[in-house]
Amino acid sequence: MIPNADVNERPLPPFEESKNFVMKYLFDNENHEYHKWYIVINENDEPMGSVWISKKNYIAYHILPQFRHKGMGQKAIKLLMEANPRKRYFAAVNQKNEASINFIKKFGFQPKGIIFEKITD
C-alpha cells in the first residue's frame, strides 16, 4: 500500500499544490464537479487539510499527517455534512487504506461495492 494514497493508489500531492489546483479549477472552470471545497484550518490559521463534496454527493478529505488522529478530520467532515445536508452521501476510499475505511465508518458509511479499473497504454 502506498501511504497517503488516493483511491487509485496514486500519492496525494503536497498541500500547496492541491490548494493551487482547487483555486484554479473552481474559478477557471464553471462546469466543475465540486459543490463545495473547504480548507481546514486550526485556531492558529494553519492549514490542516481540506474536505469537499461533489455535486453528486461524494465527500472526500485529506488531513495533513501531523494533524491526524486529533479529531480534526472528524470535526471537518461533520461540519461539511451539516453545511451541505443530503439524503445520501458517498465516499470513495482506497480499499487498502484501513485507517481511512475506519474513519469514514465512524459517520455511518457502509461498503456499497468495489470499483474496478483497467489502465491501457
Q: Report pLDDT digits (tens) over 42-77.
A: 888 888 888 999 999 999 998 888 888 899 899 999
pLDDT exceeds cutoff 50 at 84: yes
DSSP state of 36: E
**How far apart are the C-alpha atoms of 22 and 14, rounded to whole Å?**
12
**Higher-scoring residue by pLDDT: 105, 4:** 105
Strands ordered across the beta sheet of 59-63: 34-41, 47-54, 59-63
**How far apart are the C-alpha atoms of 99 and 103, rounded to whole Å?**
6
Cβ-count burial 46-82 (b if 16+ within 10 Å, e if not): eebbbbbbeeeeebbbbbbeebeeeebbeebbeebee
pTM: 0.71
Q: How confident is the model at residue 111 (pLDDT cuts 50, 70, 90)?
A: very high
Rg (CA), the chain: 15
| Dihedral over alpha carbons 98, 102, 105, 109 (to 10 degrees) | -10
CATH number of 15-105: 3.40.630.30
pLDDT exceeds cutoff 60 at 98: yes
* C-beta of residue 67 within 8 angstroms of C-beta of residue 48: yes
